[in-house]
Structure 1
Amino acid sequence: MASAQPLVTVVALCHNHAPYLREALDSVLAQDYAALEVWLVDNGSTDGSPAILQEYAQHNPAWHLLLLPENLGNCRAFNQAFFQSQGEFVVDFATDDVLLPQRLSQQVALFRQLPPDYGLVYSNCELIGEAGEVLGLHHRPAGAGRLNPHPASGWVFTDVLTRYFISTPTMLMRRATLLALGGYDETLSYEDFDFWVRASRDWRFQYQDAVTTRKRRHPRSMSAQITRAHDPYLASTLRVCEKALALCRTPAELRALARRVRYELGHAGRRRQWAAAGQALRLLMNIIGRVVGLRGQA
């Protein structure tokens, strides 16, 4: 007799996603995986999203509804639901994206084949525009002018310091991993880089070569807020790099972090964010000092 399906928590996090919200929530309903716990979280929307969420909650009484009176930021809003949830695995689902019907069954099946020190399964995704038009894939096949570096599996701490390769909307996280981290860091303006760095220190990651999700690009998405003149997430990125320095154990890891900080230093300079540039420069000097110190111990 097959064992019971593990419970999966879907935290559907909404902030002014009204144009996309029904398609997103319908994609949760269309999952071919039955053991779901769904939390609908509105993060202070002003565009009619709360009414749509209330409608879906009324038609799906097992779903949980959390209407926050103001925007608490993604990390804090997610934690509000996560710490009340029960799932063995967790999806942080932005409600401008779309889950393909076999998303959760595929990822849970893979997780159940892996040792318990795997904290994350992630996959490929299809990029779509405002109207759902297909823009391409996050990971392009070999020989197709790959946009992002090849995905990594296993112990990926050095990889996540060096390069961006994980499509955030495709992540299925082990609950124990999130709990070990204390949930998302609520002092940060975004969550994924911090999760990757802290989780990959002690947990392995696994890439699944399948398209499981449709990630929407539109003018109000978080990535669209980064302009040639300003990056509102840079301070959080540098804070994560500071955390990473405390986690680095080897010269190779320190060199990987140094490459990342040099990039962020140039990023800050191009946008004339001088306070951030100074923070990055000080951090880079600290990293170099650590490398020199390790060489002295050799």
Structure 2
Amino acid sequence: MKEKEKPLVTVILTAYNQEKYVGETLESVFDQTYKNLELIVIDNASQDDTLLVIEASKSASRNFLFIKNRRNFGLCAAFNHGLSRAKGKYVIDLAGDDLLMPDRIEKQVEAFEMLADDFAVVFSNARYIDPAGKELENHYAVNANGSAIRQVPSGDVYKNVLERYFICTPTMMMRTSTMLELGGYDETLTFEDFDFWVRSAAQYKYFYLDEILTKKRIVPSSLSSMVYKKGSGMLASYYAVCNKAYDLNRDQQEFDLLAARIRTFIRKCWYAQEFELAVRFRVLLNYIENPGWQTELIVFMCRLHLPVNFAYRFYIKNLKKALSQEGFSF
């Protein structure tokens, strides 16, 4: 692809209290082999020196827009603000602690440009790193050639999205026109990915590029660690997305997959002591199929308001510690 034919790509970087990592994240953008980039950085009212690090990295010679929020509007709203200013054909949602491999954008653009317009997302494999940057496992296990050892869903992935978590969110490059058509992220939710996957995959295709192109940092404060914390809003957001999926489903198999996912969330509601929410999930499940005695038993225990959250979180913490000592990483 000739330089003048290369489409503009917008990288939207949202940061909050990430002074330790955001400088390295910015450098991973500046070091891309693909140069037709627009960088929009949004600081969500950081209380540490994140602002200073970003200012030190800014250069007048780069296509760099810096937005400083006076309060933390949340990830979804911050990204949508950046999306409203984006001029690129494609957009990347980048957290302030993740890293792009040098050729990531170039390879994803090449893939996108060969796809039909009904493809909205190109995603890839990723390598997890700890807070210190130590490399852990890959998102998809690979063989000696670096290829995923198991087939990764590609094309119409809506059923796969309903069934399980399989996409590493920061690896995605998205078609900007699709993002705008969908109205960006849902700002009423505490997270962006599951909702975006459901709404976009119901209409558009995804393409898996089988390479490790991103390093995702695992930190204790990550959203994934908050799902079992009572009152975090995570499970309430999952409930909202499940209602959207119910309206979008196209056949019985999709309803069966959604029902199985709802059962998982009911169990998580019990562990997180989100008892009333478990009952609401059960009502939604009943629209699809009979909940069955096992689910009804969990809902019954939720109605008893048993204080299980502390014990469960203690169990999970010690299980992870034990597995970590055996060489497993999270």
TM-score, normalised with respect to structure 1 = 0.91
Letter in 1 for 2:215: R
CA distance in 2, matches of 1:61, 1:214: 23
State the distance in 1 between where 2:25 and 2:198 align: 28
Structure 2 equivalent of residue 210 of structure 1: 211
Deviation at 1:228, TM superposition (A): 6.5
Structure 2 residue 103 is the aligned partner of structure 1 residue 99: no
Query: Cα deviations across residues 85-121 of structure 1 (Å, max 9, x unaligned)?
Result: 1111000000100000000001010111111100000
The answer on whether the counterparts of 2:127 and 2:216 sit within 8 Å (CA) in structure 1 is yes
> Is contact 1:150-1:165 (8 Å) kept?
no
Equivalent position SS for 1:114: coil
CA distance, structure 2, for counterparts of residue 227 and residue 47 of structure 1: 27
CA distance in 2, matches of 1:238, 1:227: 14
Task: Give the conservation status (yes or no) of the 8 Å contact 2:104–2:213.
Answer: yes
Contact 1:139 1:150 (C-alpha < 8 Å) held by counterparts = no
2:39 maps to what in 1?
A: 38
- Which one-letter code corresponds to 1:179 in the other structure? L
Question: Cα offset for 1:172?
Answer: 0.2
Q: How far is 1:218 from its partner?
A: 1.1
Unaligned runs of 5+ in 1: 290-298
Paired residue for 2:13?
A: 12
Query: Is residue 44–residue 67 contact of structure 1 (8 Å, CA) maintained in 2?
Result: yes
Q: Does the CA contact (< 8 Å) of 2:227 and 2:235 recur in 1?
A: no
- Mapped to 2, the partners of 1:16 and 1:182 lie a distance apart of 27
User: 2:39 aligned with 1:53, yes or no?
Assistant: no
User: Which amino acid in structure 2 is aligned with residue 156 of structure 1?
Assistant: V
- Structure 2 distance, partners of 1:122, 1:56, is 27
2:12–2:82 Cα contact (<8 Å) kept: yes
Farther off after superposition, 194-203 or 229-238: 229-238
What amino acid sits opposite 1:282 in the alignment? V
Aligned residue for 1:38, secondary structure, equals strand
Give runs of aligned pairs for residues 249-288 of structure 1, distance below 5 A.
Answer: 249-288=250-289
CA contact (8 A) 2:228 2:271 kept: no
Aligned residues: 286
> Do 2:127 and 2:136's aligned partners in 1 also have CA atoms closer than 8 Å?
yes
Contact (CA 8 Å) 2:143, 2:149: kept in 1 or not? no
The corresponding residue for 2:316 is none
1:174 matched residue in structure 2? 175
Q: Displacement of 1:249 after TM fit?
A: 1.4
Matches of 1:63 and 1:180, distance apart in 2: 25
In the TM superposition, what is the alpha-carbon distance from 1:123 to its structure 2 partner?
A: 0.4
Contact 2:125–2:212 under 8 Å retained in 1: yes
1:134, 1:231 → 2: CA distance? Answer: 29
> Secondary structure at 2:20's aligned position in 1?
helix
**Aligned 1:1-298 pairs, distance under 5 A:** 2=2, 4-58=5-59, 60-141=61-142, 150-227=151-228, 232-288=233-289
Secondary structure, counterpart of 1:83 in structure 2: helix
2:73 and 2:288 map into 1 onto residues whose CA distance is: 33
Q: 1:57 to 1:138 in 2, by over 3 A?
A: same
TM-score (norm. length: structure 2): 0.82
Task: Tell me the alpha carbon deviations over residues 159-209 of structure 1, each in whole angstroms, 9 at most, x when there is no partner.
Answer: 101111000010000012101101111111110001100000110001111
Q: Distance in 1 between matches of 2:271 and 2:100?
A: 36
Contact kept in structure 2, 1:231 and 1:271, CA below 8 Å: no
Task: Identify unmatched segments of 5+ residues in structure 2.
Answer: 291-330
State the Cα RMSD in Å.
Answer: 2.0
> SS at the partner of 1:202?
coil
Deviation at 1:57, TM superposition (A): 2.5
CA deviation after TM superposition for structure 1 residue 55, in Å: 2.1
Percent identical among aligned pairs is: 37
